[in-house]
């Protein structure tokens, strides 16, 4: 005597019995390959390069001094001044 639900035959439905999950994974891989081929590029105009090179010598010296402090681990941030500057930026930009 056969119990109900047992001995039931399951057949593949759909196009030639392909696994639908495998099809979805193949689609995903194809999309990944297509998006991986695109590269981001940036171009800086010659005018921007000239402006970058025309910085104030005093500013260059200040930047070099700060870089040295950061590399040596002696650069200290004034948190009160930083907070005040951020606050003033957002309040005064209206």
Ordered DSSP codes for 36-59: HT--------HHHHHHHH---HHH
pLDDT at 6 over 80: no
Q: For residue 82, what pLDDT band results from cuts at 50, 70 and 90?
A: very high
Taking alpha carbons only, the member of 33, 10, 29 closest to residue 21 is 29
Per-domain residue ranges for the chain? Answer: 46-92
Under the banding of pLDDT at 50, 70 and 90, the label for residue 73 is very high
Q: Tell me the three state secondary structure of residue 22.
A: helix
pLDDT tens readout for residues 16-66: 556 667 777 778 887 777 665 667 788 889 888 888 777 788 888 999 999
pLDDT higher than 60, residue 5 = no
């Amino acid at each position: 005597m056969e119990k109900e639900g047992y001995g039931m035959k399951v057949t593949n439905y759909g196009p030639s019995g392909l696994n639908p999950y495998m099809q979805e994974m193949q689609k995903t891989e194809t999309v990944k390959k297509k998006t991986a081929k695109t590269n981001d590029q940036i171009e800086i105009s010659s005018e921007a390069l000239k402006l970058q090179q025309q910085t104030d010598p005093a500013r260059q010296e200040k930047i070099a001094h700060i870089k040295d402090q950061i590399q040596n681990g002696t650069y200290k941030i004034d948190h009160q001044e930083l907070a005040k500057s951020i606050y003033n930026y957002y309040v005064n930009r209206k």
